[in-house]
Amino acid sequence: MPGGCTEACDGIDNDCDGSVDETFNSKGSVAAHFVRPTVTQIAASTWVYTYEASRPKATSTDAGNGNGYWTSAPPGSTLDRTPSCSMANRLPWFNVNPVEAQQTCTQMGGSLCSIEDWQTACRATSGCTYGYAPRNNLGGTACTTVATATKYCNLGSTFDFNDTLAGDQDGLLPTASSRLQNCWSDWSSTTGNSTATNRLYDITGNLRELTRNPTVNQYGVMGGSFNTQSQSASSCDFTFYTVDQQFKFHDTGFRCCFSSNPTL
């Protein structure tokens, strides 16, 4: 079988059942084989992508292609029906608008994360200001203070993408890049997370992340990015930016959230 029996988020029919990248809410004819995204549990009934969303064909150097429209698209746009993945060492999905992000998250059995769920994920149970580890009750003030020599995310003000060149060099990194230090929201020993799921990566920096306010149909942009020059603008509480349904930019991506465990 191509790629083995177990379905992976790779655009391949790994279990040869005629369906590609089946999800937990649509498992296909071989129910044991479906895409199990890596998620971190942040509440009794809330799971969130551990990694910034990526496309199935993304690699560490290529973000892949395809839009996220599944059910409707603007005039002149195709329904590419691109799934979203939560995987390490992939260039995340950028230049995506809120409608695409919402539709692909819905297809995965979830939804675009609400601002409240995103902030819960960032704060890591202890009122963290940034997505640095360890969280307050495990390591003093690590997650409430700005970057240091031993903790930094991919923000334009604190990380130089190419330190061999002169000047300020900023750019996008693969998810959970080993070039960053302690750049994860620390969910260890909480809500049943295992060692494989207790680090919620890049919620600060790398890409800004689209979120939704479902009560008023607005979208917020959270978390800062590789070209954010002010750390305060990347904090868990910074909710200044709201955008419309067609907003997209090269420094903005998203995560999906779920009300039931998408790995079961």
- CA 96 to the chain's CA centroid: 12
**Percent of the chain with pLDDT strictly greater than 70:** 97
Spatial CB neighbours of 82, under 8 Å, sequence gap ≥ 6: 55, 56, 66, 67, 68, 104
Distance CA 16, CA 28 (A): 11
**Rounded mean pLDDT, 27-56:** 91
Give me the sign of the Cα torsion angle 150, 180, 155, 238: negative
Q: Can you tell me the mean pLDDT for 39-64?
A: 97
Q: Is the pLDDT of residue 139 over 70?
A: no
State the CB neighbour count (10 A cutoff) for residue 140.
11
Tokens of 234: 């990347």
Q: How far apart are CA 108 and CA 116, in angstroms?
A: 20
Fold of 39-264: paralog of FGE (formylglycine-generating enzyme) (3.90.1580)
Residues 155-184: b if buried by 16+ CB within 10 A, e if exposed:
bbbbbebeeeeeeeebebbbbbbeebbbbb
238 three-state secondary structure? coil
Instruction: Tell me the residue length of the chain.
Output: 264
Confidence of residue 1 (pLDDT cuts 50, 70, 90): very low
| Cα separation, 204 vs 52, whole angstroms | 11
Q: What is the pLDDT of residues 82-105, one digit of tens each?
A: 999 999 999 999 999 999 999 999
